[in-house]
Chain A
Amino acid sequence: MKSDFLKGTADGIPIALGYLSVSFGFGIMAAGAGLSVFEAFMISLTNLTSAGQAQGVSIIASGGTLFEMAVVQFIINIRYALMAISLSQKLDESFTLPKRLLGAYGITDEIFAVCSASKGSLKPKYMYGVILVSTVGWVLGTFLGAAAGEILPSSVTAALGIVLYGMFIAIIIPPSRKEKSVLFVVLTAAALSCICKYFIPTISGGFAVILCALISSLMGAIFFPKKYDKEDENK
């Protein structure tokens, strides 16, 4: 059981590194909007989400209403609901209610990705390990960015921008090699995402991702339905 936690922490390291660079930028932004280091730190600790936090800070800075804050957070972060449903299907039996309440805190794009890709059912301790390391990276980066601003040379922060995407590629390529159905879904999603980006720029990034994912997953499910027992074997 101990090794589940350690395995989770190891798999969380690339997330933490990516988060460090992204949240560093968030910290700089929050400080620029007039928030204290402690406030920026607490936003990152309680929210653990990139786009939602950035938008939240701009609402605070512009003196928006609490209603506006709630609606914007809901729209930007609703994709987590889809991820939570998807993850709920591979939870281990030991994932009791209190553990679900705890684990839900850490459902982000990246943690979801790593937990989905983990072999077998998802164990609480594995998920905690991933969340712990990732969260440390996220709040540490926020703290450094808000407190110290531009200490890293820009060549380093620029190169760190690709870390999370590199990890995503490492997650989607191996199953795409093994199953042509996954390859189909991956290519369809990428194509739709490009169409949104270059031809329908009015769609916000977060919403475009949901739309592309829904359409391509549905197409995958229609054209390549997974056999019941076969899926259990794979997992």
Chain B
Amino acid sequence: MSIWIYIAVMAAVTYLIRVIPFTLFRKKIKSQLLQSFLYYVPYAVLSAMTIPAIFYSTGNMTTALTGTAVALVLAYFDLPLIVVALAASASAFLCGLLLV
């Protein structure tokens, strides 16, 4: 079977999952419980995705913990996303150099 048919199925299913709720929900949800729930969802998703995965993100627990600590401190002081993200990576990289 052509690989392109597989790719078309993959793309179609993935797009439908995104587009149906995105276009269907046109009104503001009135329920306070539901509204609160949706307000917390992004933070919950990101937190669950980050912990504990970040500790394994560099293939070395020490460099990953260094990067995590740097990210936490810089984020605490409300620095821009790109600064926090790159500083985490740079500190993990430098830590990796020191370990060798």
Contact = CB atoms under 8 A, between A and B. Distances in A.
A180 interface: no
Interface of A: 10-11, 13-14, 17-18, 35, 39, 42-43, 46-49, 52-53, 56, 59-60, 63, 66, 69-70, 73-74, 77-89, 97, 100-101, 103-105, 107, 109, 112-114, 116-117, 155-156, 158-177, 181-182, 185-190, 192-194, 197-198, 205, 208-209, 212-214, 216-218, 220-222, 224-226, 228, 231
A10 B85 CA distance: 13
Chain B interface main SS type: helix
Interface string B25-54: 110110011111111111111111111111
Nearest to B26: A88
A188 B87 CA distance: 26
Given A43-B10, A47-B14, A169-B75, A175 B60 contact: no
B25 A85 contact: yes
A193 B52 contact: yes
Contacts of A182: 40, 43
B17 A14 contact: no
Interface of B: 1, 3-7, 9-11, 13-15, 17-26, 28-29, 32-54, 57-60, 63-64, 67-68, 71-72, 74-76, 78-90, 92-93, 96-97
A163 B86 contact: yes
Contacts of B36: 220-221, 224-226
Contacts of A192: 48
Contacts, number: 298
Given A14-B85, A169-B71, A169-B84, A218 B63 contact: no
B14 A66 contact: no
Contact of B82 (A13, A161, A194, A225): A13
Contact of A35 (B3, B23, B41, B68): B3
Contacts of B43: 172, 175-176, 182, 185-186, 189
23 contacts: A35-B3, A47-B11, A49-B14, A56-B7, A59-B6, A60-B6, A73-B10, A77-B13, A81-B18, A81-B20, A84-B20, A86-B41, A159-B58, A159-B93, A167-B82, A169-B71, A170-B81, A172-B46, A187-B47, A193-B52, A209-B45, A221-B39, A225-B36
